[in-house]
Amino acid sequence: MLTNCKLFTPYAFNMKPLIVLVSVFALSMLFTYAFQQREDLYFSGRLALCVMLLFTSIAHFVFIKGMILMVPPFIPNALKKLIILITGVIEIVGAAGIMIYETRVTAGYLLVIFLIAMLPANVYATQRRVNMEEGDFSGPGVFYLIFRIPMQLLLIAWTYYFAIIHPFPH
């Protein structure tokens, strides 16, 4: 049965950020159409990314133990918690930055760099079977990369499209 396969456990397909991104995008498109008689694709894309980043930033403050396990061993232990907290703040600042007219392109470029820089940490954590929410090594393992890498590429492309290519109202 597929539900007994480790690939289909809640840990393997932790789709919460993707669900937040798509749901907020769809709701924003619906509301902009309802209230403006036209959908606002670019605003909706930025808003969805903003909310998703705020959502994921919560983990940096709530699941610190699990997040620390994601940091590679060459980083000194004394710095790991600080790095986790700083990256959480970066997500919050980036979320705000893409919503502010004057900063959205710069914030977009910085977020793309940030998302690229975080991919190795996600690969490392997956190889170690880190379960971020539990703060242990009961995660799904490398099968999660089948989902995680394409999702990270989607986030990079989404950021590039909505914050860099189409940053301003038309």
Single-letter residue type at 33 = Y
What Rg value do the Cα atoms of the chain yield, rounded? 17
Output the pTM of the full model: 0.89
Whether residue 30 has pLDDT greater than 60: yes
CA 136 to chain centre: 21
Tell me if residue 136 falls in helix, strand or coil: strand
Whether residue 161 has pLDDT greater than 80: yes
Whether residue 4 has pLDDT greater than 60: no
**Which range (27-36, 41-50, 142-151, 157-166) has the least confidence?**
142-151
Give the span between the Cα atoms of 75 and 87, in whole angstroms: 14
Express the helix, strand and coil content of the chain in percent, nearest 5 each: 75, 0, 25
Q: What average pLDDT does the segment 4-11 reach?
A: 47
Q: Domains of the chain: which residue ranges?
A: 14-164
CB 29 within 8 A of CB 44: yes
Q: What share of the chain in percent tops pLDDT 90?
A: 79
